[in-house]
Structure 1
Amino acid sequence: MPKDYSRTSRLGEQIQRDLAQMIQFEMKDPRLGMVTLNQVKVAKDLGYADIYFTVMGAKGETDEQIREQTESILNDAAGYLRSELARSMTTRITPQLRFHYDETLERGHHLTGLIKQARQSDSDQSEQD
């Protein structure tokens, strides 16, 4: 029976806490907006850690440009962040970091809009009958 709270999930939570502090206090890139780390998934062999983030960026840019730019900045800084993680963690292996934009909020808004649209069309249909 698998454990509910495995080593990889504990390690993922630790990586999430440490990376959030590093990104906020140690990264000096002015193009970087307010980054929120939503989830860290660590591979069972500790080879990779997929980090999912959202971002609130600068004004005057489209959301897509902000996402792509932030993902590029974070993936370029992955080596530095990994070396800093290795100093603070006591594990023998520090996973490679891969940053991905988390699209769950946008999907949720899209589905909510579809549900509202369907309910509105149902109520319009019932009023016509």
Structure 2
Amino acid sequence: MEFKRYHRVGEQIHKEVSSLLLKGLKDPRIGFVTITAVDVTADMRYAKVFFTVMGDDLARSNSEQGLNSSASFIRRELGKRLGLRYVPEISFHFDASLDYGNRIESLLREIHTGHDDDSGDTEKD
């Protein structure tokens, strides 16, 4: 696969947004957020920033609201740091793939432990 410019821009946005979150945004709604991925459109007009957050659904909802309300500030900071002629519009989206992966892992663990219990009950002829 050829490595396109928008992939590199996505990686830079990932790095810079993560850096901004480490330094801390002033919005109290934003909890312990981790940026998991950035998808930039081929025309580099829009960027979807995917994140996870430690905590429950309320923490997720509050963090998503805080991030989306800080999007214009983050976009301005990206413009200063990246030196792009046009900085993509940014939207934040919760990344449920980690929750999904954890659920699959727990189901597999249950199946595995249930399988071990059944193996001792059968007798061989």
Alignment TM class, shorter chain as reference:
0.7 to 0.9
Unaligned runs of 5+ in 2: none
Aligned length: 122
Aligned amino acid, residue 116 of structure 2: S
What does residue 7 of structure 2 align with?
9
What does residue 23 of structure 1 align with?
21
Name the Cα RMSD after superposition.
1.6
2:104 is paired with a residue of what secondary structure? Answer: helix
Over residues 80-124 of structure 1, what are the superposed CA-to-partner deviations in whole Å (9 max), with x where a residue is unaligned?
Answer: 211221222222221111111122221121111111111122222
Equivalent position to 1:85, from 74, 78, 102: 78
How far is the alpha carbon of 1:70 from its aligned partner? Answer: 0.2
Instruction: Using structure 2 for the length normalisation, give the TM-score.
Output: 0.86
Runs of 4+ in 1 over 6 A off after TM superposition: none
What does residue 120 of structure 1 align with?
113
Whole-angstrom distance in 1 between the partners of 2:54 and 2:112: 31
Aligned amino acid, residue 67 of structure 2: L
1:53 is paired with a residue of what secondary structure? Answer: strand
Unaligned runs of 5+ in 1: 58-62
Equivalent pairs: percent with the same residue? 34
Equivalent position to 2:66, from 56, 73, 79: 73
Pick the structure with greater CA Rg. 2
Over residues 29-67 of structure 1, what are the superposed CA-to-partner deviations in whole Å (9 max), with x where a residue is unaligned?
Answer: 22322221111111111121111112235xxxxx10000
Whole-angstrom distance in 1 between the partners of 2:54 and 2:115: 36
Aligned amino acid, residue 36 of structure 1: T
Report which stretch shifted further, 115-124 or 44-53.
Answer: 115-124
Whole-angstrom distance in 2 between the partners of 1:114 and 1:42: 33
Whole-angstrom distance in 1 between the partners of 2:115 and 2:22: 47
What does residue 56 of structure 1 align with?
54
Instruction: Using structure 1 for the length normalisation, give the TM-score.
Output: 0.84
